[in-house]
Amino acid sequence: MKSKYVILASALLISVSNFAQKDQIKAAEKAMKSGNSAEAIAALTQAESTIGSATDAEKAQYYFVKGNALADLANKKVETGKNLSGAAKAYQEVLTVEKTSGKSKYTADAKTALADMKSQLINAAVDAGTAKNYKVASDLLYQAYELDKTDLEKLYYAANYAVNAEDYDRALSLYADLKKQNFSGEGTSYFAKNALNDQEEFFGSNAAAKADRDTKVRLKLYTNPRDEKVPSKRGEIYKNIALILVQQGKTEEAKKALAEAREANPDDTSITLTEANVYLELNDFVTYKRLITDVLAKNPNDADLVYNLGVIASKTDVVEAEKYYKRAIEIKPDYISAYLNLAIMKLDADKKIIDEMNKLGTSEKDTKRYEVLKKQRNDMFNSALPYLEKAYELEPGNADVAATLLNVYGALEMTDKKKALKAKMGK
């Protein structure tokens, strides 16, 4: 007889608990109607411990109201990242519960809210990244990816932010996921100018974005359509995987990862270039030379590739680097970065020369040495000058190029040219 009372008491407790849940959810809805989302969250928190025993209908209602409350807090700039993430998870719970129960009272609204959540998560991630809150940015972008697992680009940027946050284990995990899914990121970005403000806008990188852009151009809402090729990101992904493994002391794993990547993507020269760079970091110059020779043999007229070989070669052989930079300019005469790097290489010896000049005394021997060094310095400036002038011609708004050119004119006592450049710079 006693056991019957225990069962009855338990049933009464469950019944009272269910009533409390309903009251708390209703209280949360009422608070939301009054615009008090914080009060709504407080009411829902009271129901949280017993929501597992609620009916599917009550669970769906609970998570939908919670999603709305957290989204509203995020819109009010209250812990934006945390509340956006929480809202997205709540809406996902709505979809899961209603899919299981076969009912769809909140499903359509939850899907609409999730689409909006994704956009807001991305914007919040950009803000966090700008503020150098890289871990937060990575988490937000991963949440955006979780909402749409076909959008691997968000996973890619989540991994990059994890690197910036120096959370290498997480970055390695995310890059491994990208590698597993054979993500390249290669494609075309679609742009056009808004007819109202003449500002160029980015439409996206898929077929739907192109169709939207083309329609708006046809309707004369936008002008000057432009397509931009997006290169493969595989090389960077595999490079980062390898560099993280090298940093963790897993050199053989790094070599294996790159060799496998090259085997899987034999036509992607960026991977071979990355592999070469890793061997360079490991001071394995023989393998490095072999790999870059392979790369150049496949794409002898790829200006970017030749330029990259110059960057890598500059670490060990400036003569070879100069050859690559000049070849890049032959292929692409307006390659400003090649001109700049050539100038920088030429000017690299300046500090060493100045240091030696400052140590010299006033003896006849020192005076002769001073004149030799002065001539060396002038020759160095003269050799760098045409590359700097060309770089300035290509990009006159580059303040660093202009300042360096100004210093070179001064060192060579080219007074007229220095005055003319100062006038252009507004000094």
Distance CA 274, CA 405 (A): 33
| DSSP symbols for 135-156 | HHHHHHHHHHHHH-TT-HHHHH
Helices 364-394 and 399-411 meet at what angle, rounded to 10?
150
Q: Is 283 left (phi over 0), alpha (psi -120 to 50) or beta?
A: left
Distance CA 79, CA 82 (A): 6
DSSP structural state of residue 412: T
Q: What six digits make up the tokens of 79?
A: 């812990």
| Domain annotation for the chain: domains and CATH numbers | 20-131 (1.25.40), 187-230 (no CATH), 239-337 (1.25.40.10), 350-425 (no CATH)
Flag whether pLDDT at 2 surpasses 50.
no
> For residue 103, what pLDDT is reported?
83
> For residue 107, what pLDDT is reported?
87
C-alpha distances out from residue 98 to 22, 56, 164, 342, Å = 18, 7, 39, 63
What's the average model confidence in pLDDT over 388-399?
Answer: 85
Give tens-digit pLDDT for 68-88.
888 888 888 888 778 888 888
Is this model's pTM higher than 0.85 or not?
no
Strand (E) or helix (H) holding 387: helix 364-394
Q: Which long-range contacts (CB under 8 A, 24 or more apart) does 328-334 make?
A: 328/303, 328/304, 331/301, 331/302, 331/303, 331/306, 332/303, 334/394
Chain-wide mean pLDDT for the chain?
83
> For residue 53, what pLDDT is reported?
67
Flag whether pLDDT at 132 surpasses 90.
yes
